[in-house]
């Protein structure tokens, strides 16, 4: 039994494809650049939206010029801008939601005490 198990393990090891690992030194640019490029892509995607492009044009800024400026920004500036974009609320101003909740509460209160 033990001899058969050893032969089975040897056969499985021969069948199993394995790859050799290669270790090497990488530069700082290779390590740091993916995070910067992801943030840069985030900012460029925001600039590519039609509503943002329309707002830029209404302010007198050409969207292509804005994209060129984003490409010229440093990684620290891009990271700060991407973090700021991610921290902004997803909708319009939050005061609209508060007003809506107040109206709904007032309507429910009026309906409950109307009887």
> What pLDDT shows up at residue 96?
64
Per residue in 34-58, pLDDT tens?
Answer: 656 788 888 888 888 888 888 888 8
52 located within any domain: yes
Domain that holds residue 40: 31-88
- Note whether residue 48 is domain-resident: yes
Q: Is the separation of the CB atoms in 47 and 71 below 8 Å?
A: no
DSSP class of 85: H
In a domain, 93, yes or no: no
pLDDT, tens digit, 9 for 90 and up, residues 91-105:
655 566 677 777 877
Q: How confident is the model at residue 90 (pLDDT cuts 50, 70, 90)?
A: low
Provide the number of structural domains found in the chain. 1
Task: Please indicate, yes or no, if residue 17 is contained in any of the structural domains.
Answer: no
Domain assignment present for residue 80? The answer is yes
Which residues 6+ apart lie within 8 Å of 73 measured at CB?
40, 81
Asked whether residue 56 is assigned to any structural domain, the reply reads yes
What is the distance between the alpha carbons of residues 84 and 95, in angstroms, rounded to a whole number? 20
pTM above 0.85?
Answer: no
> Is 4 inside any structural domain?
no
pLDDT at 25 over 60: yes
Q: What is the pLDDT of residue 95?
A: 64
Indicate whether 50 belongs to any domain: yes
């Amino acid at each position: 039994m033990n001899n058969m198990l050893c032969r089975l393990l040897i056969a499985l090891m021969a069948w199993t494809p394995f790859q050799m690992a290669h270790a090497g030194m990488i530069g700082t640019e290779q390590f740091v650049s993916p995070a910067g490029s992801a943030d840069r892509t985030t900012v460029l995607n925001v600039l590519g939206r039609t509503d943002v492009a329309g707002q830029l044009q209404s302010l007198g800024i050409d969207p292509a010029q804005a994209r060129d400026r984003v490409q010229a920004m440093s990684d620290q500036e891009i990271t700060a801008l991407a973090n700021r974009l991610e921290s902004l609320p997803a909708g319009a101003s939050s005061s609209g939601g508060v007003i809506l909740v107040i109206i709904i509460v007032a309507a429910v209160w009026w309906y409950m005490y109307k009887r």
